[in-house]
Chain A
Amino acid sequence: MDYLISCRDLGKSFPGCRALNGINLELPRGRIIGLLGPNGSGKSTFLKLCNGLLTPDRGELLVCGYRPGVESKKHVSYLPERSYLNDWMTVEQMIGFFKDFYEDFEEARAYDMLARLAVDPAKRMKTMSKGTKEKVQLILVMSRRAQLYLLDEPIGGVDPAARDFILSTIITNYNPEGSVVISTHLIADVENILDDVIFINNGSIILCDSVENIRAKQDKSVDMLFREVFRC
């Protein structure tokens, strides 16, 4: 299990659109990786494939050494771009739920983060604002000692204070033996915390390098490079 994700010629189409176009990729351990691309470039599709929420049309995909399934899901912590929590459950109940199903869930850490956010664990999800819900979801996801964290647009549409909270929560809590993949189109906001970046466009990977390499070689930030590459 050298690579947390390895895929060969991975392809996925939807009726009327090719979402992923034969992707080859290997993601090592101990890295924070940015999956960067404009909207509709295939970022979410890739993450959903890794979680077994979509089934690939062709190619091979191994996550933590397994095809997406029960074994891989034990080791992957996924934050989707939407709210997936039951409205009627309290935060406490959600924590119980995660603890029940994920062996690597660390309850104490979750409560600790909630306290720092001043969220009352007895509160029901439906009484919370959208922003708070998103943060609670992130807390649940980051409270696991997972091998791989797949975070889909964790900072999409949040205010700068919330963004700082989210980024510091990620840095503070991820398992250093594992890796984090952050998909986003807001590169400037995340580039300082990334080891590596993957540029994806129209379902193909067009660049895969470390942030420091890009800055050293090109004398510009990843954000600027991104704007050049994806200029309309």
Chain B
Amino acid sequence: MAWNLQSDRPIYAQLVEQLRRMIVTGVYPAGSRLPAVRELAVEAAVNPNTMQRALVRLEEEGLLYTQRTSGRYVTEDHEKIMEAKEAMASELIGCFIDEMMRLGYTREQTIQLLEKKEVK
């Protein structure tokens, strides 16, 4: 999984998004152990403090939890992960529909177009 950071937004927010994506897509499956902060920081080529903040944020969201001695794990609560996944999906769809409306399509037309679109 390559980290892809844009230069015009806070790195912290981008790290949170990308880590969340990795969790919901199963790069880090439920219950698995995350690499150490420094390792993740090196992998993403970012500051370890920033990576730490992003991980704490995901802990607050309930997607990660820390075991004092052995490190940081992905939650075993599958529902929680699904919730996060659905939230991401709904945000994506929201954006999409907004864009389509800006192009002048109605909701129904958009759905029709969607159904016609072949999935490769």
Contacts and interface: CB of A to CB of B under 8 A. Distances in A.
Direct interface between A and B, CB < 8 A = yes
B5 interface: yes
Contacts of A215: 8-11
Interface residues of B, number: 17
B12 interface: yes
A212 B10 contact: yes
Interface stretch (A7-15, A43-51, A71-79, A167-175): A167-175
Contacts of B49: 30-32, 195
A193 B40 CA distance: 12
Interface string B84-112: 00000000000000000000000000000
B38 A172 contact: yes
Nearest to A188: B7
Interface in A204-228: 211-212, 215-216, 219-221, 223-224
A193 B7 contact: no
| Interface-centre pick from A215, A221, A223 (highest chain B CB count, 10 A) | A215
Nearest to B7: A221
B46 interface: yes
Contacts of B44: 192
B47 interface: yes
A194 interface: yes
A171 B46 CA distance: 8
Contacts of B27: none
A168 B46 CA distance: 9
Interface string B43-60: 011111110000000000
Contacts of A223: 7
A193 to B, nearest CB: 5
Interface residues of A, number: 24
A38 interface: no
Main secondary structure of the interface of A (DSSP, over half): helix
Given A212-B11, A216-B10, A192 B5 contact: yes
B16 interface: no
A87 interface: no
A176 B7 CA distance: 25
Contacts of B30: none
17 contacts: A32-B47, A168-B42, A171-B47, A171-B48, A191-B7, A192-B45, A195-B49, A211-B11, A211-B47, A212-B10, A212-B50, A215-B8, A215-B9, A215-B10, A219-B8, A220-B8, A223-B7
Interface of B: 5, 7-12, 38, 41-42, 44-50
The 9 nearest A-B residue pairs measured at CB: A221-B7, A215-B10, A168-B42, A192-B46, A212-B10, A193-B47, A216-B10, A171-B42, A220-B8
